[in-house]
Structure 1
Amino acid sequence: MGPILLLLFIGIPILEIAVFIRVGDLIGLWPTIATVLLTAMAGTALLRHQGLATLAKARANLDAGALPVKEIFDGACLLVAGVLLLTPGFVTDAMGLLLLMPPVRTALRGFLSTRVKTQVHMGGAQGSPGPTRGPGSTPSGRPDIIDGDFVDVTPGEAPPPSDEEPRNGHSPWVKGPQDPPGSGG
């Protein structure tokens, strides 16, 4: 993942500079700057419109008692699109405008959901081993270890003092003959 990010941080600015030079040669300096500013403003307006629509859909899903997973993903895509559109450059603007298109977000959501399902099915993120649990096993994975607190009560000995006062001289957990009916203990 590190080399990919490094390549993106170096490659995208170089690509943007090359495109700026080429567009500047074709249409001139001031039209190039005006085009970058206009794409940023148009992208921001589209982002606002789609962001509000996505927020309304998410609220409707929450009101209906459904988890707005699609809307959360769309909101994340719109956030990335906003960052890309506000970054000066033609390549980043093109990527941001692509993320504003609902069919592109749907295709990206489908692709990512199959990747996530595959990784989860394979045993966790990047194949990391998770806890192995089966019938009768404990959180540690070993069936011979039981985690708990205990008090050794030997018949004929007085029980150790406890934080809870017993009712009617009896244990609070055992119902005795002296407890009135319906006392719950």
Structure 2
Amino acid sequence: MPLLILIALFAIADFAVLFTLGAKIGLLASLLWIVASGALGIHLIRRESLLTIQRARARMAAGEIPSDEILAGASFVLAGILLIAPGFLSDIVGLICLIPGSGQLMRRWSTRGGRGAGPKGTEIPGDWNVHRRDSESSASDGQAGDDADPIEGEYLGKER
């Protein structure tokens, strides 16, 4: 709910700035800016979504998780959506998303909410980073960690 309120306030501020600056620079210049930024946003979304899918497929073919590519692609798609929206504030935020390294900033921000590596209670079940970290620690010393539970079961041998 607070996110919805924040988005609504951002939209109201964006339109207020659009009308204020539009009155100062003129209707034609404002319309040209909106059309040009919208065209750039559409171009970004089309190009980056295809490139992100190609890079993600290449990483998955190599047996890796394409999280970095997906977050970088999401940053470009967010920039495209913000550039399509009519307004000067949304265009400024969209252009900030285009700055190199903004995808890494988005990754840091998205992992703060209890995701990723942290105390055992805040990890997401099935998180690949946790699995990889646990398997690397068990592979490094040849044994499972001290807190690993033994696997119980019965052994059924094959009859020949």
| 1-structure distance, mates of 2:85, 2:158 | 70
CA contact (8 A) 1:61 1:68 kept: yes
Question: Which stretches of structure 1, 4 residues or more, deviate above 6 A after TM superposition?
Answer: none
Q: Which has the higher helix share?
A: 2
1:62 corresponds to which of 42, 60, 63: 60
CA gap 1:75/1:98 in 2 versus in 1, 3 angstroms: same
| 1-structure distance, mates of 2:28, 2:72 | 35
CA gap 1:27/1:66 in 2 versus in 1, 3 angstroms: same
The aligned residue for residue 5 of structure 1 is 4
CA contact (8 A) 1:43 1:97 kept: no
Structure 2's unaligned 5+ residue stretches are 124-147, 151-156
DSSP-derived class of the 2:52 partner: helix
The aligned residue for residue 25 of structure 2 is 27
Q: Which has the larger radius of gyration?
A: 1
Root mean square deviation, CA, Å? 3.1
Structure possessing the higher relative contact order (Cα contacts under 8 Å, 6 or more residues apart):
2
User: Structure 2 matches for 1:74-93, cutoff 5 A?
Assistant: 74-93=72-91
The aligned residue for residue 34 of structure 2 is 36
**How many residues are matched?**
131
TM-score, normalising length from structure 1? 0.57
CA contact (8 A) 1:78 1:100 kept: yes
The aligned residue for residue 136 of structure 2 is none
TM-score, normalising length from structure 2? 0.65
Instruction: Report how far residue 105 of structure 1 moved.
Output: 1.3
CA gap 1:103/1:5 in 2 versus in 1, 3 angstroms: same
User: Structure 2 matches for 1:43-122, cutoff 5 A?
Assistant: 43-117=41-115, 121=119
**What residue identity is the alignment partner of 2:22?**
G
| 1-structure distance, mates of 2:158, 2:50 | 57
The percent of aligned pairs where both chains have the same amino acid is 31
| 2-structure distance, mates of 1:68, 1:118 | 15
The aligned residue for residue 184 of structure 1 is 159
| 2-structure distance, mates of 1:89, 1:103 | 24
